[in-house]
Structure formats: structure tokens, C-alpha cells
Structure 1
Amino acid sequence: MSINSFENYPMSWKPKKAAGNERLCVSLVRQLEEDIKTGVLLPGTRLPPQRELADYLDINVSTVSRAFKECTQKGLLSSTVGSGTFVAYDATANLCLLPSPKTRTVIEMGSVFPEAVAYKEITGLIEKMITEPDFGILFQYGPTEGTSWHKDAAVKLIAQAGYQTTPDKLLPTNGGQNAIAVILSGLFHPGDRIGTDPLTYTGIKTVAKMLGIQLIPIRQKNGEMSADGILYACKNENIKGLYIMPDFQNPTTHSMSDSGRQAIGEIAREKKLIVLEDVIYSLLNQTPKNAVASYAPDQTIYIASLSKVFAPGLRLAYMVSPEQYKKDLVTAMYNINLSVSPFLSEIASRMIVSKNADRLIENRRQLTRVRNQLIDEALSGYRVLGSADCIFRWLLLPKGITGNTFESLAQAAGVQVYAAERFAVGNVKPVAAVRLAVGAANSNDELLAGLEIIGDLLKKADRK
């Protein structure tokens, strides 16, 4: 069919046919990237069917398929069986959720940093360690799988978060983000699909995008993945795994029900899914529930990290791996050079065994509760989700304003928050909401100043 026969045909996107020596597929990818970046194609836009687009350009449909596939792996597009291909809602979102040097004068309420404390429990341990005759050994290389003593200590900490395991299943790594990178690079391949919440942690989004792994939003019920949604994704999206954050899910703050955890375990066993269970916030929960790994220990890789509950500079995490995955994970750790510092492992282990870790975590809970009370009082009358022990909150916005718009207004007024669009997966339109970090502000007074600005913006939005 001639390209000109579509001249007056309504299509959401009409790319130009490749000119000169540019390959057809390369041309389509380039035009898609440019039109998404410049706003010609907005997030959520449904693209023409592949065959229709091929007819319009008078090219082979396989060329369009290759271009769409490449853009999907780059995180620009999202396709759903039976629904078509859409511009991903996070296609233009900045997934880096760290403070920028350009925003140093802005009150930080975006990045999830624990409240700054004196860390006297840690500094006291280091002062003692320095006086020991064999202190210098801690600056040598350590074994990839960690020492027995370090793993014994880690098992004790993991039990406090709701999971009983054994040292032989543990693999230490440099933080939870690196653990995710190890798992995705070691057990998944480009083109594989992993089911996640429709709004999920940006860390897995960036790693998946880098490795060409597609994230699939799982339909929810009562704020968490539903069994029907997971089974649908297994059948129609051919997912290979699931990524879950069962306690204080980032960004929505939701904690998964016991029945939800058990259902995921049952489906993972039945469908042979690889489950990534990220429990980065679970130790902040004073009454932990059973881990999903308890219901599917042979399918679940349990990730417990310390940066949010101990100290941000203590970049250490423990993976609890089923035997069937352990060899591939160790190989991935070696290949990307993720060896853990014996010095950091020793600090963490001594913190755990001496009970200093318990005191530090409890102190952090108390500080978080004070700040959450300030948030509840300042934003009373608005829906701010999250428990008193959660170090971030989820502010649902008034009608008529999007998360992106509110984030921009807040930044212009002097406060950094992060919009729901940053956390969106695929073509599911995100709720109008922003995430508020509880501990990131330098002081309670600074937090109150930020909350006053946010409150004023909410009142203005209400009046529109």
C-alpha cells in the first residue's frame, strides 16, 4: 500500500520514511526517541498497530516489530497483550532519585534518606576495632561468599525481619541495589519479563532498562498484587519472575497481607517463578510478618540490606539464595566485581551481635515517629498514606493536578518531592500522588518549613 494513501488517515504517530542510507529500523527507533523526548508523543499515547504502520510506510511489518522491541527494551514503550503498544508513562521521567547539586538550596523531601544521627554505636565500635592488633587484616580482599562468622551474624538479623534461614544460603553484596543488579544479570536475559507493582522502586527500573529486561505491571487488589493478576501475567505476558517489596512498599507505603504473601509463594512454586523479595524496610516494622520466602524458599531470593536501617554509608546487603540459583549468582558477582569489604562486614556483624544494631534501629523508629507526627499534623485533611514507622509517605493529590505538575510546583517553591510518574511501570496511568521522604530534611524545623510550602500548594490546588 502506498504511503500517500494514508495522507488523511487518522493515526497517533506518522513517522517519515527513512531517507538516504539510514536503515529503516534505525530510522524508526530514532524518530520514536526524538518524538517522545520532545513531547510529540506523550506518555500513555497508543501507537498505531504494527501492520498499519508498516502499510503506511510501505515497509515489512518485521521492521516495525524490531523497532518497537528495541524501544520497549529501552523503556520507552510498553505493550500489553490484547491492548496494543503505548508510550510508557515513565518514558521521560528522571529515574535518578538522588539530590542534585543544583538543588542544594531546596528542602530535601524527595530522596529516601534515614534521618541523620550521631551513629555513636558505629563510631564506638570502630574506635575499639582500631586498637586491635589484627585490625589491618580487614583491608584485605575477603571471600566472595563471606566468612562463617559474618554470615552467622546476618542470619540473626534476618530472623528479626521475619525469615528463618541458614548461613549456607547467604551471599553478601554491596547494598540492595547491587543485589538486584546481580540477580538480573545472573538469572535473566535481554527480553525476559519480570512482574512488578504498577508503581515500583526506581532501582529495579534502571537496572532492568540497562539489561534490556521488561517490567510488567501486575493487576492489583487492595493495594497489592492479586493472584489473578499474577496468573494472567504468567499466561499472557510470559513473565519469568516477580519483584516485590512486602513491607512499606516503595513508593506507596503498603505492607502486604499474610494471604497475599502466601498466594505469591504458592504461585511461584506452581509456575516456577523467580521471586525477588526486597525487604529493605522490613526491619523498621516492629511486628514483622512471615516472608514470602517462607512459603516458596526454593523460588525466592531474599534481599536484606542495611543502608536504610543502619546507616546510608554502610553499603551492605545479604541475599538468601536457593541452591539452584547460587552458582549463577556467585558468577555474576565475580563478573561485575562485587566483592564486599571485610571492614564493612565486620562492623555490621559486631553491630548485630552486640545488640547495638537493635538500639540503632529503635532510635531510628523513634525519630521517624516524631517526624511522621509532624507530617500528620501539618497535612491533616489530606490523604497521606504510611504508618508511623515508615521513613517515607505517599501523598494523594487533589483532583485536577498530576504528580509531575505538583513536583514542579514544589521545586519552584523550594521543596523537592518525587511524583508518581517516576515510579510508573508500563502503560498503567499512575495515580496523582507524590512521595515525601520523612528523614531527608536536615532538621525538624526544616521539615516543618517544607510541609508549610506543600500545604500552601495543596490549598491552591483545592481552589482550582
Structure 2
Amino acid sequence: MSNLTGHWLKRLAESDKPVYQTIPELIEDDVASGRLRPRDRLPALRDLADALNINYTTLARGYAEARKRGLIDSRAGSGSYVRGRPPTIPLRAGTALEMTMNMPPEPPGIAERMAASSAEIIGSADPYSLLRYQDFGGSQYERAMASQWLRHTVPQHRSDALLVCPSIHSALVALLLRLVKPGETICTDSVAYPGLKVIVNQLGMRLAPLPRDDEGLDANAFEVLCKTRKPGVLYTNPTLQNPTTRTLSQNRREHIADIALRYNVPIIEDDAYGMLPEKPPVALATLAPELTYYVTGMSKCFGAGLRIAFVIAPNARHAERLAGAMRATTVMASPYMSHLTARWIESGLARDMLLAIRTECAVRQHLAERVFFGRQFEASKDCFHFWLTVPGSTGWSASELASHLRTKQIGVVSGAAFSTDGDPPNAVRICLGGPGDALAMEESLQIVADMLDHPDHLHSPML
């Protein structure tokens, strides 16, 4: 456990949160990374408190919080153990029962067109040209098609500031490396995309979580932070946010853009779901173009395997500098994938796919609304996930519910995975996309609803 305590010492020193809130996050992150495995025995409270040079009572409170989140079990006389998970569901590319992975639905009737188009595109291309190194940022043709596609969400962007990239995730890595200086923080919502947390931890950076209100990220809190300690960058997912599905209003976007401009804080606008609404809101990249890096892609609106993303930088000079950072980490996007994407945009197939996915999203959200009628949840007809509050009256915590659902062969994601402030909401994200028909999905949702109505975990043995 010496490696573990050394890692925890470093993370505790970097964290601005109370120690008792940080301890559960450390356990959860270490389980996710494989540093801790289910059923590993944690150090005794007294020994770990001495090793970390923290108060025994504080550490005990941290362990209690970890138990509350369903991360560990404690038994008198035998210590505390990383909670042994029930048999896991193999990731079957997001089947109807595997609702942890946020993937778009796969509507019937378009698969044959995709297959025929793919064969035609690859068959007509020079294979050797697709096996060579490419200029980073995409060919002139690929950028032109990407620019045409992005007129839907950022109508007035400059095409010479646009880059074609391997994925949104890799674009975020390069942007954070480029924009955040040592000692600076990344300002974000208190509930955010889990991938951001993973990237930040890997890069040794720090998050500065902002409180939220009914609309989302609190603009006034953002301004207070800018006044007290200017963040290196603001990261936001303003349209159909993952996980809450909220979309910032025009007024809130204008308020945030105004604050960023006054305090000269760069914005990373992660608009992964921005193509899904038929009438998208005005992008922050339109309201504050001189500060905003607009990021979107194909994986969240078409399929996780289509790892092509687009970044619109504030200007061509900034795009060139970002291209250098991305070249150092990813070399280039897959020529096959970027060429396929461009041809699908040009032929209109991408547009037809998007329309079919929008229709299927609305169908699945309607089914979810019917199953969970009368319960507290957030959803939008335009997206393929929803955010379900777990009522305290059920006796479940979100982590316990997610763990127990896996024994029923259903996967959901608890609020702890999205929390950036150490105070996770008692809610779960449930995804409605991937393969599988709507009927199978509805049956799975009904099992979730029944479990909330009949919390049989109160009478089941601890796993």
C-alpha cells in the first residue's frame, strides 16, 4: 500500500476540498484506474491516518462517506475492503441492457445505406493515399466538408481556424495542455463529464467546481471565482449536458460569455451533443469567438467508433498552435475515418443519419417518460440519456442502486462518477441508445422503476 499512500498524499495536497470528501473520490478513482481492485483490504484507519498525516476522526469520516457511496464495506474486527462488485455485464457495444455507455441509438432502415456507402467510398479511394502520413488538421477537402457541417451550430466560424482531430477526448487533452499553466485551475460545473475528471487526474491538474442552479452552471459563481483567483480555462458542456440533459439558455450563455470576456478567461465549449437539436442554441463560440475553442464530433451523434472530432479555434494562429500540441500527442486523425466522414457529409448521408437518430431519440425518451411518470428526472427529447433522481425514501443511495442493478444485468451510472465537488447528487444517468430495440429498452427501464418501488436490497445479503 506504500504506492497507494504516496499517491494519496499527492492528491490530498493538491485538493481544495475537505479531506473527508476527497477520500471517497480517491478510492473511486483508484478502482476505476485499477490501482485498487474489488475486495482489496484498505489500510487500517490509525495506520493510514499516520501515513497521510491527517486526523484520525477526519479519515474515519472519509471512510464513512465512502461506505455511504457504496464504495467500501467495513466489518468489525476485519477492517475495510473495496466493495466486491456483483458479476459485471460484458460491454456488448451498449446493448439495450447495457445503459452505462452514452451511445446514440441505431435506428433501423439506414444500416444498409451506411454499408453500401462505406464500400463505395473506400473502393473509390486510392488505398495508399489513405495509408500515408497526412497534414494534421485534415485535408483541404475534409476541412471544407467539416466547415459545411458546422454551419448548423456555429454559422459564422472561420474555416481557416478549423481542425479535424482524432476524437473529442484527445482534443480536450491537447487543449488543457495548451491553455492551463502550472498552478491554474480548470473551472467547470459541479456535475460534469467523467472523461474530464480522468484527463485532469492524469495530467495532474486541478478542477475548480462551480455550483449550479436549475439552469446549470452558475454564472455569478463563475464571476466570483474570476475575481478571487482567475482560472486557466472554463470548461462547459452547454447543450444537452452530460449527465443532466440541461441546455443553457440564451441569457445564461450571454452572461457567461460576458464574464469570460471581461476577465479574459478562455472557454472550452464541449458541444458533443450540439448537432442533436434541430434548432441549436447560439454557441458560446458565436458570443465570445476571440476566447472560445469550440469542440464537437461524430462519436456522440452517430456512433462511438466514428472517432472524428472538429475544433474551431479563436483564429488561424491559435489553430496552428493547437495543431502542434495535438500532433505531439496523436500524430493525426485516421485518414480512413476522416475521409469517410467527409464523404458522408458531402453525400447527405450524415444528414439523413442525424434525422433518423433524432426521431429514434424522441421515441425512446417518450417510453422513458411513460415508465418514470410521476418521478423526478431530467430529460430532453433531443438526446439519448436521462438523469433520474433516486428518492431518499427508497433507502437506496445511487451507488448502491447502480451496483444492485448489475445483479439484474442492467448497467447505469451513479452520480458519484460525475461529481467534481465531492458532494455527488443522489441520481443515476441512464442511457437509452446503442443497439437493441425500444421494446427491450422499455423492459429494462421497468426493472429500474420496480426496484425503486420495491427496494429488496434491504433484505438481501451484502455482496
TM-score bracket for the superposition, by shorter chain length: 0.7 to 0.9
The code of the aligned residue for 2:99 comes to M
Q: C-alpha distance in 2, partners of 1:101/1:266? A: 50
SS of equivalent to 2:387: strand
2:27 is paired with a residue whose SS is coil
Distance 1:353 1:192, change over 3 A: same
Give the SS at the match of 1:115.
coil
2:427 maps to which of 423, 433, 443: 433
1:163 positional shift: 4.0
Tell me the distance in 1 between the aligned counterparts of 2:125 and 2:205. Answer: 48
State the partner residue of 1:142. Answer: 134
Q: Does the Cα contact within 8 Å between 1:383 and 1:395 map onto a contact in 2?
A: yes
5 Å-filtered alignment, 1:163-178, equals 163-178=155-170
CA change 1:186–1:135 in 2 (3 A) is same
After the TM superposition, which residues 175-194 of structure 1 pair with which residues of structure 2 at under 5 Å, given as runs? 175-194=167-186
For structure 2, the residue ranges without an aligned partner over 5 or more in a row are 34-85, 459-463
In the aligned structure 2, how far is the partner of 1:397 from the partner of 1:383? 8
Q: Percent identity?
A: 26
Offset, 1:365: 1.0
Contact 1:90-1:426 within 8 A present in 2 as well: no
Structure 1 gap segments, 5+ residues each? 1-25, 34-66
The corresponding residue for 1:289 is 281
Following superposition of structure 1 onto structure 2, how do residues 409-420 of structure 1 map, counting pairs within 5 Å? 409-420=404-415
Higher mean C-alpha deviation, range 85-94 or range 409-418:
85-94
Q: How far apart, CA to CA, are the structure 1 residues paired with 2:237 and 2:364? A: 23
2:5 paired residue number? 30
Q: How big is each residue's C-alpha offset from its partner over 1:240-293, in whole Å with a ceiling of 9 and x where there is no partner?
A: 111111111001110000011111111111111111101110101111011001
Alignment partner of 1:71 is 2:46: no
Shift of 1:358: 0.9
List aligned pairs for 1:31-430, cutoff 5 A.
33=8, 67=9, 70-71=11-12, 73=14, 77-79=15-17, 86-87=21-22, 90-93=25-28, 102-104=88-90, 107-117=97-107, 119-132=111-124, 134-323=126-315, 325-399=318-392, 400-427=395-422, 429-430=423-424
Deviations 1:183-226 (A, max 9, x none): 11222244320111111001111111111111111122323222
Per the TM alignment, residue 462 of structure 1 is displaced from its structure 2 partner at its CA by 11
User: Which residue does the alignment assign to 2:74?
Assistant: none
- Match of 1:415, SS state, is coil
State how far apart, in whole Å, the 2-side matches of 1:88 and 1:190 are.
24
Q: Which residue is 1:17 aligned to?
A: none
Give the conservation status (yes or no) of the 8 Å contact 2:415–2:428: yes
User: C-alpha distance in 2, partners of 1:391/1:206?
Assistant: 23
| Per-residue Cα deviation, 1:25-51 (whole angstroms, up to 9, x for no partner) | x98982783xxxxxxxxxxxxxxxxxx
Change in Cα spacing, 1:364 to 1:72, as seen in structure 2 (3 Å) is farther
Residues 88 and 166 of structure 1: CA distance in aligned 2, closer, same or farther (over 3 Å) = farther
1:289–1:340 Cα change, 3 Å: same
Judged with a 3 Å threshold, the aligned counterparts in structure 2 of structure 1 residues 401 and 327 are, in CA distance, closer, same or farther, namely: same
CA distance in 2: counterparts of 1:126 and 1:284, whole angstroms: 23
CA distance in 1, matches of 2:413, 2:436: 18
Aligned Cα root-mean-square deviation (Å) = 2.8
TM-fit CA distance, 1:369: 1.5
Separation of aligned partners in 2, 1:162 and 1:330? 20
Amino acid at match of 2:89: T
Q: Partner of 2:261: helix, strand, or coil?
A: helix
Structure-2 residue corresponding to 1:456: 450
Q: What SS is found at the alignment partner of 2:135?
A: coil
Match of residue 444, structure 1, among 418, 438, 448: 438
Classify 1:139/1:368 alpha carbon distance in 2 versus 1 (closer, same or farther; 3 Å): same
CA contact (8 A) 1:78 1:426 kept: no
Q: Is the 8 A contact 1:108 1:441 kept in 2?
A: no
2:238 and 2:269 in contact (8 A); partners too: yes
How far apart, CA to CA, are the structure 1 residues paired with 2:155 and 2:239?
13
Q: In the alignment, what sits opposite 2:65? A: none
AA aligned opposite 2:313 = S
**CA pair 283-236 structure 1, distance change in 2 beyond 3 A:** same
Task: Out of 196-205 and 318-327, give the one that drifted further.
Answer: 318-327
* SS of residue in 2 equivalent to 1:301: strand
The Cα of 1:304 is off from its aligned counterpart by 1.2
Give the secondary-structure state (helix, strand or coil) at the position aligned to 2:330: coil
Structure 2 residue matching 1:390: 3-state secondary structure: coil
Q: 1:140 to 1:420 in 2, by over 3 A?
A: same
